[in-house]
Amino acid sequence: MSGLKAKDLTLSYGSKKVINSIDLDIPEGEISIFIGSNGCGKSTLLRSFARLMKPREGNIVLDGTKITKWPTKKIAKRLSILPQGPITPEGITVEELVKQGRYPYQNWMHKFNDEDNRMVKQALKDTQIEELADRPVDSLSGGQRQRAWIAMVLAQGTDMILLDEPTTYLDMTHQIEILDLLYKLNRKQKRTIVIVLHDLNLTCRYADHIIAVKDGKIYNQGSPKKIINKELVKEVFGMECEIMKDPLYDTPMCIPYSGGIAI
C-alpha cells in the first residue's frame, strides 16, 4: 500500500471541528487541487497531510503507515510542503534558501556533498532562476520569490509536493508561470502534487483531480469535466454561474453572475 490517505479524519481548533470524519485518497502521480470557500477546511486538511496538525480523530496514512509514526527526517524525504506566505530569513540569497531543502539529508556524519550540490543546481534550473542564485531573496519580484521557494521544495527531492495557495498575491502572468512550472514537473517527473487554489478556472485547467470541500466534508471529487457544474459551484461557493467550455483547453470554465449588474 502506498500514497497518502486520510482515514476517518477529524481535525479541530480547540472544540471547533474544521474537518469532520472524512476518508480521502490522494491519487499518485497526478495534480490534485482542493477547492472550496474561505474557512471550509482545505488549508487545514493540507497541513494535516504534512503532519503540521495532529488529528483529533482518525489518521493520516503514508505508504501504509500512520504518519505520526514516521521519523521527522524520513517523512521529509518523502513529502514536502510550501505553506502560504512563507517568511524569508533576512538577507538570505536564493541559493542559500534552496540549500535549506537539503536539511533532511544532513547530520553530523553527512555534510553538504556533491549530491546535495547537484540537487540544488537542478532545482535552480527547473525553476529557471539560475541567474538569480546570488541575489537576496527579498530583492526579488513576487513571481521570482515564489520560484525560489518552489526550488527549495524541489531540492528536497520528494516524490510528493504540497502547496498552500502558491499563487496568492501574484498577478495573472506570475500565476500562470507558477502553475505551468508545477504542471511540467508533474508531467516530466511524475511527482504527486497537491495544491490549495482559489481560482476555479485555473483549477480546471491544471488539475487532474479536484477535491471540493464544503463545511469540513468532501462534497465531491473527480476530474474537472466530471464534477464541475452549476450545482457544485452553487453548493460549494454559494454562487450562481454558467459553465462553458474553455475555448483554448477544453476544460470547464465558470462564468459567474453578478448580483449588482443587470443582464
pLDDT tens for 106-136 read 876 777 889 999 999 999 998 889 999 999 9
User: Taking residues 190-195, what's their average pLDDT?
Assistant: 95
Q: What is the mean pLDDT of the chain?
A: 92
Q: Which residues contact 258 (CB under 8 A, 6 or more apart)?
A: none
pLDDT at 261: 59
The answer to whether 211 and 218 have CB atoms below 8 angstroms apart is yes
How far from chain centre, in Å, is Cα 230? 25
Pick the CATH number of 1-71+191-263 from 3.40.50.11740, 3.40.50.360, 3.40.50.300, 3.10.310.10: 3.40.50.300
Does 9 score more than 80 pLDDT?
yes
157-179: per-residue pLDDT in tens? 999 999 999 988 788 988 998 89
Contact 66, 5 (CB under 8 A): no
| Helix, strand, coil shares, percent, the chain, to 5 | 35, 25, 35
pTM of the model: 0.91
Q: Does the pLDDT of residue 1 top 80, yes or no?
A: no
Angstrom CA distances, 206 to 26, 27, 91, 252, stand at 16, 15, 34, 11
Over the stretch 46-93, which tens digit does the pLDDT of each residue have?
Answer: 999 999 999 999 999 999 999 999 999 999 999 999 998 888 888 999
- Rounded Cα distance between 76 and 250, Å, is 37
Burial 22-56 (b: 16+ CB within 10 A, else e): bebebeeebbbbbbbeeebbbbbbbbbbbbebebb
The three cell numbers of residue 6 are 486520510
- Domain locations along the chain: 1-71+191-263
